[in-house]
Structure 1
Amino acid sequence: MTKRFGELSKEMCSSISGFPLPILEDLSEAVLDFTSLADLQAWLVAR
């Protein structure tokens, strides 16, 4: 994530690291379609 979007906030990192494996797998696929940090933020809010 950092390579694609730069430094993430602590809140984002905490949120992502707390996800169970199936959600992380979904995120790993979804991130391929993200074009901005806003896409990641929207995805996180939806979860």
Structure 2
Amino acid sequence: MMTLTATATEKVQDFIQEHSAESEAGLRVAVLPGGLLRIPVRPQH
């Protein structure tokens, strides 16, 4: 499970609206191994 900030939630909702996605659309992400302190997250579309 991933928790999004309010700002991130707005960005996802804007993306869905801009791309005329269905109201049931979601967000798929890939978690990639990264450096010592960070795990980069890449959106999948």
TM-score bucket (shorter structure): 0.3 to 0.5
Report 1 or 2 for greater relative contact order, CA contacts < 8 Å, sequence distance ≥ 6.
1
Greater helix content: 1
Greater strand content: 2
Q: TM-score, normalised by structure 1?
A: 0.38
Q: Which has the larger radius of gyration?
A: 2
Q: TM-score, normalised by structure 2?
A: 0.39
